[in-house]
Structure 1
Amino acid sequence: MPGIAPHREQLMSTLLVIDDDRLHCDLLQVALARHGYQVSTATGGREGVVLFRQLRPVVTLLDLRMPEMDGLAVLKEIRTLDPRAGVIMLGGGATEELENHARKLRVTDFFRKGLSLDVLIGAVHRAAQQAKRDASASESRAGEDREHTPEEQILVVDDDVMARELLVRFLSLRGYRVRAAKDGREALRLVEESAPDLLILDLAMPEMNGVELLRALAARDYAGRTIILSGHQNDPLLADAWALGPQEVLDKPLDLERTLMAVQLVMVCREC
């Protein structure tokens, strides 16, 4: 195929194509293999998630509309497994609402089906190069964080399993010891076992919300720092939470880089 020659760093980069249209999978596999990529395919969302876990591709090309498990559901799973993975979504007939939803999930790029292969392959090249730069930077930061903060412990408390697992993985890769609790009662038990240096706490939880947990911890003389997670700034619990002295409040959905900066700042202030 004329247009774009493979670069040396692209050779043997693993790609994954997830599309219920077998013909489209085969077309992309052949086209991308000609540019030096190693391409695997899946014709369903669940199969695609399994392959993503196994292969950890540098870029995934993902169809939006698929039966049983659509592209947005697959993208959520991918983000849980790898917050920085390159994902290009192909959204034939997508509405603006669906595209915005995909961008909120930090899709790398979004295209309508039917675009030229040269345009798509160019986007794959860019996403692959960016993913490699991100991976290299993450490894470097993780090494620095492990060097400076090997003993710092964080407890993530959130009833949203996706948000909870995302934070645990993201912060663990940066050298922190991270535990997780699905609700306030489990968090109290974990704090009693070993008090964390930092609590990352969702406000809106059933049975025992974030404010109630902070009050219970205050009664137990918890001396660690706290970062609050809130779905919106007009949350009625937020004023009560501020009164209990958290160090930071972060909005959901989380910006992971901002979250990391907040964690680092809180830890530095704790040492001061």
Structure 2
Amino acid sequence: MALSLLIQTHKRDTMMSTLLVIDDDRLHCDLLQMALARHGYQVSIATGGREGVALFRQLRPLVTLLDLRMPEMDGLAVLKEIRTHDPRAGVIMLGGGATEELENRARELRVTDFLRKGLSLDVLIGAVHRVAQQARRQASSEQARAGEEADQLPDEHILVVDDDVMARDLLVRFLGLRGYHVRAAPDGREALRLIGESVPDLLILDLAMPEMNGVEVLRALAARDYAGRTIILSGHHNDSLLAEAWALGPQEVLDKPIDLERALMAIQLVMVCREC
């Protein structure tokens, strides 16, 4: 986990200072690379549109400086490709001899800024700083939002035990999409084996199963001093079997066929009670 976080942090820090210059004029690329490197940026260059798109995908630069007029693949075509990969990437178009129509087309593709070639380096570097600061704020905001969303996801582990394949798979997919860590077992014996490996926070247990029914599973768990919570699934109106199950202390019983929204509410309530 720590290694993964370190790698992500390194990638983010690298992106925070990486610029990409795409221009078929090599001399102009070298000039911009030297000038921007003096301001602490890591500058990569591409002398063609296709090379530029490939480098953009690889580097995910903080800001891209993009020449409008290039052979084979011009700046507008490159910008369109960039937008398919990142709709909000910082892109400054350098439009030497651009017509108003070309500039408007660049605006329609949501270019971040449009500068005429021939402007002083100070103006260009000022524009880069401005777009870079905007991109950093956006990246920080998205990172904070992602962290908040991750904090809100449940971290509970659930084991679903049911010999009915469709019901079992339905619950696994439904709960997995809601952030729960879900394992599944097709019968009572496999359930006991999995619980022996790792005790779940919640056991969702079908009552009527061949060979080893839900009551027998609960008795085996009681002998092991199982400390997790249990929700019983009951698809058969066997009052005596259900009474035996209740006596073994489950927190809830849900009828089959399963009402997924009601099941989710029951699971959330059981989890909250567990925390209490």
TM-score by length of 1: 0.49
Q: Which has the higher contact order (CA 8 A, sep 6+)?
A: 1
Larger radius of gyration: 2
